[in-house]
Structure 1
Amino acid sequence: MSTTTTTTTTTSYAALLRGINVSGHKRVPMAELRDLLTALGHGAVRTYLQSGNAVFTSASTDEQGLATALEGAIEERFGFTVDCLVRDAAYLRAVADACPFPADRLEGRQLHCTFFSAPVAPERLASLDPAAYLPEEFRLGDRALYLYAPDGLGRSKLAEALARPALFRGTTATSRNWNTVRKLVELTSG
């Protein structure tokens, strides 16, 4: 008698929730977020910080489908909408590796990455004069924007200019400092 073993391959993902737990608005406790992800059938669920970062494994390869399911579960459980992006471990590693700034020589608060739901055409940023914001700088990557703000995000004039809704209309965007990017790479890598 022969037995057949079926192996399900899983992928490690990070879920990036936009705009939760800020000044008491859209409160999503991390324990409940972990419960939601587990109830959706995901494994190895962990959260990082209170700002909406979760790591999990799934047999699905559909990042958008995973994000949509999580958005629906959050709305059903908490009664408000939260935009979610889901990115796999390989993508997060590629974003970290492609950083155009010397991340290993900068403090995590000086470097940020904004993740987008879709590619952003460089023409959208043509109205910004990079020289007007020096020493702050930005570079566009694959569904990501890297921001170097030597005095931190809170004092960044460039971050303020990049936050104008018209620049990225129709695209979900959420930012993380470089310490968080590094940690998400580590957590999704195994």
Structure 2
Amino acid sequence: MKTHLALLRGINVSGHNMIKMDALQKALEKSGYEDVRTYIQSGNVFVNTAEENAAAVGFHIKQEIFKVFGHDVPVVVIAKEDLLACFQNNPFLKESEVDTKKLYVAFISTILNDQSIHDLKMSSVKPDEVYIDSSRIFIKYAVSAGKTRLDQKYIEKKLNVTATIRNWNTVTNLLKMYEESEQ
């Protein structure tokens, strides 16, 4: 069995795409996943399955959500190695006295290329900062996530990808949950 982490985008936000986590857990277990666990209400779901292919798992979860709840929800599936890479490759963690409350990670549906940083047109979102690493964008907001143009919609529009963003505290807790599931 392989553990996958599905990051659902845009559920339970401002009253839209409302899905209770216990109902989601039951629906995914009914569809064949084992040891389904969720973390907070924003759509972080661990599933165990014999399926190795992350894209196939994401597609199946997306279909189940639509079938059961009627919501078309983008899903990005990541492995434990992706979360570990967040800690190893986040350049903002190397800064002295960094405010981790301003750090976020955008998980992207595909591998980004060298041109992606230019496609983001960072001059329009200054003083926010980004660093692109494979299928992740590390973000350091100058003020806060609520006071920026550099959000998931902006990233998706500029790069033509599916993206979902998590704050640093969530990334940290998701890695802990991955590690606990292996014990």
**TM-score, with normalisation over the residues of structure 1?**
0.84
SS in 2 for 1:101: helix
The counterpart of 1:43, out of the listed 13, 30, 34, is 34
Change in CA separation of 1:147 and 1:41 when aligned onto 2, cut-off 3 Å: same
Query: Per-residue deviation at 1:110?
Result: 0.5
Query: Per-residue deviation at 1:161?
Result: 9.7
Query: Per-residue deviation at 1:91?
Result: 2.0
The counterpart of 2:164, out of the listed 146, 154, 174, is 174
List alignment gaps of at least 5 residues for structure 1.
1-9
Distance 1:79 1:162 in 2: 22
Show the counterpart of 2:115.
123
Query: Per-residue deviation at 1:57?
Result: 1.9
Contact 2:156 2:163 in 1 (8 A): no
Query: Is residue 2:146 matched to residue 1:154?
Result: yes
Deviates more, 1:106-115 or 1:174-183: 106-115
Contact 2:5 2:78 in 1 (8 A): yes
Distance 2:133 2:83 in 1: 12
Contact 1:13 1:55 in 2 (8 A): yes
Letter in 2 for 1:87: I
Aligned length: 178
List alignment gaps of at least 5 residues for structure 2.
none
Distance 1:123 1:37 in 2: 37
Letter in 2 for 1:64: A
Letter in 1 for 2:40: L
Deviates more, 1:30-39 or 1:160-169: 160-169
**Any idea what the Cα deviations from partners look like across 1:3-53, whole Å, max 9, x if unmatched?**
xxxxxxx22221100101111111111011111221232222211111111
Larger Cα Rg: Structure 1 or Structure 2? 1
The counterpart of 1:85, out of the listed 68, 76, 83, is 76
Query: Is residue 2:130 matched to residue 1:138?
Result: yes
Show the counterpart of 2:52.
61
Alignment of structure 1 residues 15-34 onto 2, 5 Å: 15-34=6-25
Query: Per-residue deviation at 1:55?
Result: 1.5
Query: Per-residue deviation at 1:102?
Result: 1.3
Letter in 1 for 2:166: R
Letter in 2 for 1:39: K
Show the counterpart of 1:4.
none
Contact 2:155 2:163 in 1 (8 A): no
Contact 1:55 1:184 in 2 (8 A): no
Show the counterpart of 1:112.
104
Contact 2:111 2:135 in 1 (8 A): yes
Over the matched positions of the two proteins, sequence identity in percent amounts to 27
Contact 2:9 2:164 in 1 (8 A): yes
